[in-house]
């Protein structure tokens, strides 16, 4: 039986929600990861240090007794975020980054930024105090094809942003295209997170045998050529690419709907999914650095010292796990997977 023992990983992009949903999903992440960058897209969003303190306290209160987990907080950038908010965030020590959502791009992004240029004073402050900017890198222009929105964001918004603020440290979150890989490789002070779904699946899976809402997330899955480019980047050993699940739980009845929510739930089995992807590229030896080293190195935090073990053992991903009003369907539910965390 093959075993893989690695340094305990962290999740550098996670949606934990709040209230009963938070209590339901947090134990899964705590089983897998030591720390996580917590997305601020609550309703209303986490906009100030005070909001982040309160949310962090609610997360800590939901950690199962006797277990260790450190939530790393982020602020949600709005048209009204001020340079003073950035200084306060940096001084707080526990706010690790600021998240940019274009208004209307995705779940709970109504408070997002209406024009990225409106934030230049804030970006200048972030560059000055060295607080990273996390990007949901898609344009929202409805005239742009949904499969092209990441590439157009890079061309129209990110390239000019990096020209205006070359020293601003940026994470292009949940990248989905070879264009994003190439841009990250060619540009200083920018890294990227990659999700398990974008490493394992192309957009074909969305329509395999019928419409499959549990594979729908944003940015949407792309063609196979892009998936291969992402897998190549993740397994290349380049520290600019690291783990971020974007686990984004929605109740089953909100996904299986005439207007289903975007988001894949992967906190249950994240490391197993990544192991599956890395094994497919014959690159299990590259998993530890991707999952456990390059993220803390980017965020200038110490690497974890504990370890976890993945065992080669086939098991079936459950159809559903308990959640709120209705159950929660994990990514790739019902399929067999070859690795198990112990
Ligand atoms: C996320 C969510 O549900 O909060 N959904 C998703 O498809 N990834 C929002 C986001 O990160 O885009
Ligand atoms: Zn996300």
Domains and CATH numbers, the chain: 3-341 (3.20.20.140)
CB 335 within 8 A of CB 317: yes
Position 110 scores a pLDDT of 72
Token readout for 185 is 């490789």
Cβ atoms of 22 and 30 within 8 Å: the answer is no
Q: State the catalytic residue, choosing from 10, 246, 258, 297.
A: 246
d(CA 258, CA 262): 13
Whole-number Å distance, alpha carbon 312 to ligand 1 midpoint, is 30
pLDDT of residue 26: 98
> What's the pLDDT score for residue 109?
76
Ligand 1 atom nearest to CA at 216: 7
* Token pair listed for 276: 């599956």
Contact call for residues 126 and 163 (beta carbons, < 8 A):
no
pLDDT at 93 (0 to 100): 93
Instruction: Please tell me the predicted confidence (pLDDT) of residue 197.
Output: 99
Q: Is the CB of 227 under 6 A from ligand 1?
A: no
> What Å distances lie between residue 166 and 159, 161, 202, 336, CA to CA?
10, 8, 33, 45
Atom 5 in ligand 1: which residue has the minimum CA distance? Answer: 263
Cα 136 from chain centre = 10
Query: What pLDDT score was predicted for residue 239?
Result: 98
Quote the tokens at residue 342.
Answer: 């112990």
Q: Coil, strand, or helix at residue 95?
A: strand
CB-based contact 35:307 (threshold 8 Å): no
CA 218 – ligand 1 centroid, Å? 6
Report how far ligand 2's centroid is from the alpha carbon of 20 (Å).
19
The upper half-sphere exposure of residue 229, i.e. CA atoms within 13 Å in the direction of its Cβ, equals 17
- The response to whether residue 16 sits with its C-beta less than 6 Å from ligand 1 reads no
* Cis bond before residue 219 (omega within 30° of 0): yes
Q: Which residues contact 208 (CB under 8 A, 6 or more apart)?
A: none
Strands 307-316 and 336-341: antiparallel
Q: What is the mean pLDDT of each run of 10 residues along the chain (342 residues)?
A: 95 98 98 98 96 98 98 96 97 97 80 92 98 97 97 98 98 98 98 99 98 98 98 98 99 97 98 98 98 98 98 98 96 98 90
246 as an active site residue: the answer is yes
66 sits in the region (left: phi over 0; alpha: psi -120 to 50; else beta) called: left
Angle between helices 49-61 and 19-32 (to 10 degrees): 70
Provide the whole-model pTM.
0.98
The pLDDT assigned to 1 comes to: 72
CA distance 259 to 241: 33
How much is the pLDDT for 325?
Answer: 85
Question: For residues 88 and 6, what is the distance between their CA atoms, to the nearest angstrom?
Answer: 36
56 pocket-lining for ligand 1 (C-beta < 6 Å): no
Q: Which ligand is closest in space to the CA of residue 109? A: 1
């Amino acid at each position: 039986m093959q075993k893989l023992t690695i340094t305990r990983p962290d999740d550098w992009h996670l949606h934990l929600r709040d209230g009963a949903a938070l209590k339901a999903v947090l134990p899964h992440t705590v089983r897998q990861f030591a720390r996580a960058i917590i997305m601020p897209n609550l309703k209303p969003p986490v906009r100030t240090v005070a909001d982040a303190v309160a949310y962090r306290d609610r997360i800590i209160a939901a950690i199962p007794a006797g277990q260790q987990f450190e939530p790393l907080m982020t602020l949600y950038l709005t048209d009204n975020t001020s340079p003073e908010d950035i200084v306060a965030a940096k001084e707080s020590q526990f706010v690790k980054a600021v998240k940019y959502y274009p208004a209307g791009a995705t779940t709970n992004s109504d408070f997002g930024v209406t024009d990225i240029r409106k934030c230049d004073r804030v970006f200048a402050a972030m560059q000055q105090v060295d607080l990273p900017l996390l990007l949901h890198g898609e344009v929202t222009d409805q005239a742009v094809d949904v499969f092209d929105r990441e590439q157009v964001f890079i061309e129209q918004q990110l390239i000019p942003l990096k020209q205006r603020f070359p020293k601003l440290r940026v994470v292009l979150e949940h990248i989905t295209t070879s264009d994003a890989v190439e841009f990250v490789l060619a540009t200083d002070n920018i890294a990227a997170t990659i999700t398990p779904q974008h490493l394992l699946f192309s957009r074909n899976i969305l329509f395999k045998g019928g419409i499959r809402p549990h594979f729908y997330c944003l940015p949407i899955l792309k063609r196979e050529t892009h998936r291969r480019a992402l897998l190549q980047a993740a397994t290349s050993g380049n520290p600019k690419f690291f783990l971020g699940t974007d686990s984004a739980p929605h109740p089953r009845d909100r996904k299986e709907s005439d207007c289903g929510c975007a988001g894949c739930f992967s906190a249950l089995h994240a490391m197993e999914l990544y192991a599956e992807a890395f094994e497919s590229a014959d690159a299990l030896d590259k998993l530890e650095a991707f999952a456990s080293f390059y993220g803390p190195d980017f965020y200038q935090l110490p690497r974890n010292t504990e370890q976890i073990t993945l065992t080669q053992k086939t098991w079936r991903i459950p159809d559903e796990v308990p959640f709120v009003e209705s159950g929660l369907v994990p990514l790739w539910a019902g399929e067999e997977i070859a690795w198990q965390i112990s």
